[in-house]
Structure 1
Amino acid sequence: MAAQRENRPGLGILFLCIGMVAISINDLLIKVLSDDYALHLIVFSRTSLAICISFVILRIEGGFSLLRTHQPVLHAVKGLMLVGANLTFFASLAVLPLGLTTALFYVGPLLLTLFSALFLGERVGPLRGGAIVAGFVGVAIMQDPSALDVELTSRWVLVLPVVAATLYAGMATMTRALGLTSKASAMAIYNQLAFIGVSALFFLSVGDGRFDPGPDSPSLHFLLRAWEWPARSDWATFAAMGVLNATMAYCLNAAYRIAPSATVAPFEYIGLPLAFFWGWLVFAEWPTPSVWAGCTLILSAGLFVFLRERQLKKRV
């Protein structure tokens, strides 16, 4: 008999909200550390602790046998897509305000709705299709560098969060499909192994800083700077990121595994006010009018998709 997808939207939404709080704090801590450490060092350090926690959760969910899979290639592709999403997002975070970077990234749930229709057969009608278009109009509004309060070395930095959102939406779509046969803890470990592998390759190839262009290119500087052992005063921050990484990895995989993508994805928008709050509190960043306008379009489109989904389910 064919496996059936789980459908527990309430629990899926709860997992997603917990994961988004963990992500918002994690993004804040990475931006704080971006002036002193290479991204591959941060990723390797936090993931090394996170994977230990994930193995404990795996043991609770059923043991190491859960790591067996008949789809290793798909899990590898999913993990690499998540790694790519993180690298492009954090590369832009080193340059752009936290709130703006997060706002541009939040076109992801709209893309996820589109991908769910294309690859999972979850129906998306013309109204929700129009909402997706409206979300991209919001992205275009925020892409105007003349309205930003930051000095850009390259306009391509503004594209990086959208690239991250596209990769993330693809990863979340694959999570929903792979959730038929894999537990959330196992999928979290597969993702974390991808992070450890890629960050180790970065260390071996660029860890001495030979390709570092210097502070004049902040994004590349963050990606390619030399590996430095963390100062003792930062150990607690690295440890906190490990716990946060384990939390968000499990919760997001669980959310998209047990509930329809179009139902839980709009709740990712709680990360947007959290990002604005952290940016204001820690970095004294405040969005410009164009950012507010673009955010309003993206948020409105995402909420419309959610409300439309609920209306259609009630009708059924």
Structure 2
Amino acid sequence: MPPVTQDRTLAATGLICGYAMLIGFTDNYVRVIAQEHGLWQFHFTRTLMAMALLGLAVPLLGMRLRPVNALAVVARSLIHGLAMVIYFGALAFLPVAIVAAGLFTAPIFVLLISRFAYGHAIGPVRILAVAVGFVGVILVLGPEAMSGASAAAILPVLAGALYALGNVATREWCPKESAETLVAGFFGMLGLFGAIGMVALTILPLVSPSGPDGFLMRGYVAPTMPFLWWTFVQAAGSLLGVGMMIRAYQITDAGRASVMEYVILPASAFWSWVLWGEMLMPMAVVGMVLIAAAGSMIALRAKAGEPVAPQA
């Protein structure tokens, strides 16, 4: 029997909470970036900045960027990159609530992939935690998340499935990779997609609306200082936050980690309240309680000594 991979769910919980607070803060400023610039330029510029920061950190902190399995790293980066492109692309013609609800089906797909592709036991507690967490997501997003279903609404669910596969791949395909290697691969792939999008929209420009509505349809725009500053904040915050998330998936089961990721919704809502004064409806508060309960169920179950399935 293959050796059991050490599982540190409580440490992973702390890493994911830190990731959620960082990403919740930086993502709130995408609305500022979207006022005059485009998604593709944002991804490309953020990648350049993130790679520059990573290049400075590698020699100072003794990090390792050389992959152990380059093919696995590229495959994982491609899967996660496609998930994010589909997610943001769906925002062009679907309400944010539907898109977000689709992406947060990821924990369900994580459990299905872990069970049927890798034979991991998932148990009733984790199944219940996914159900509770997803109900919490729907309450936070509001009842409109379940309305307006159409063929196009399948796209966010596809993004959720790809995101789930990428999360499983973090532990199953890349257990020996350093977090910085996987971060570099993720940003590199998004930067490549950003470059392709900018070139395509430069050759075949679209008439884009002003403000955030034109975010997905803009090609290159001369960068302003607010764009450069908030993109840099995004690059630095995402670099650290995604690194924490990746490390969490390496030290615990993907099914547990994916349920804990629900915490990013209340974290984003917290920063929306602090930064913009946006208040939550009572139903959303109930949803956050359910999300916290789902994460607690996973963490407490691990503390109680839930057995860890052998890794392939």
SS in 1 for 2:29: helix
RMSD of aligned alpha carbons: 4.0
User: Does structure 1 retain, via aligned residues, the 8 Å contact 2:38–2:219?
Assistant: yes
- Residue 187 of structure 2 is aligned to residue 189 of structure 1: no
- The letter of the residue matching 1:50 is A
- Residue 204 of structure 2 is aligned to residue 205 of structure 1: no
Whole-Å Cα distance in 2 between the matches of residues 217 and 157 of structure 1? 21
User: Does structure 1 retain, via aligned residues, the 8 Å contact 2:90–2:156?
Assistant: yes
Aligned partner (choices 79, 84, 87) of residue 86 of structure 1: 84
Q: What TM-score does the superposition give when structure 2 sets the normalisation length?
A: 0.77
| Map of 2:163 onto structure 1 | 168
User: Does structure 1 retain, via aligned residues, the 8 Å contact 2:41–2:219?
Assistant: no
SS in 2 for 1:224: coil
| Map of 2:238 onto structure 1 | 245
- Structure 1 residues 16 and 89: CA distance shift in structure 2, 3 A: same
- The letter of the residue matching 1:241 is Q
Whole-Å Cα distance in 1 between the matches of residues 40 and 126 of structure 2? 38
| Map of 2:144 onto structure 1 | 145
Q: What is the Cα deviation at residue 201 of structure 1?
A: 0.6
Q: Which moved more, 1:195-204 or 1:301-310?
A: 301-310
| Map of 2:36 onto structure 1 | 36
Whole-Å Cα distance in 1 between the matches of residues 308 and 78 of structure 2? 39
Consecutive unaligned residues in structure 2, runs of 5 or more: none
Q: What is the Cα deviation at residue 227 of structure 1?
A: 1.6
Q: Once the two structures are superposed, what CA deviation does each residue of 1:19-54 show, in whole Å capped at 9, x if it has no partner?
A: 222211221111222222100111111111112223
Q: For this pair of structures, how many residues does the alignment match?
A: 308
Whole-Å Cα distance in 2 between the matches of residues 9 and 303 of structure 1? 11
Q: What is the Cα deviation at residue 242 of structure 1?
A: 1.4
- Structure 1 residues 110 and 13: CA distance shift in structure 2, 3 A: same
- The letter of the residue matching 2:264 is G
- Residue 45 of structure 2 is aligned to residue 45 of structure 1: yes
Q: Which moved more, 1:5-14 or 1:164-173?
A: 5-14
Whole-Å Cα distance in 2 between the matches of residues 56 and 125 of structure 1? 44
Whole-Å Cα distance in 1 between the matches of residues 96 and 25 of structure 2? 11
| Map of 2:229 onto structure 1 | 236
Whole-Å Cα distance in 2 between the matches of residues 82 and 144 of structure 1? 28
User: Does structure 1 retain, via aligned residues, the 8 Å contact 2:97–2:144?
Assistant: no
Q: What is the Cα deviation at residue 56 of structure 1?
A: 4.0
- Residue 20 of structure 2 is aligned to residue 20 of structure 1: yes
Q: What is the Cα deviation at residue 192 of structure 1?
A: 1.6
- Structure 1 residues 305 and 259: CA distance shift in structure 2, 3 A: closer
- Structure 1 residues 10 and 309: CA distance shift in structure 2, 3 A: closer
Q: What TM-score does the superposition give when structure 1 sets the normalisation length?
A: 0.77
Percent identity at matched positions?
22
Consecutive unaligned residues in structure 1, runs of 5 or more: none
SS in 2 for 1:201: helix
Q: Once the two structures are superposed, what CA deviation does each residue of 1:175-222 show, in whole Å capped at 9, x if it has no partner?
A: 11133331111111111211111111111111366234546993xx32
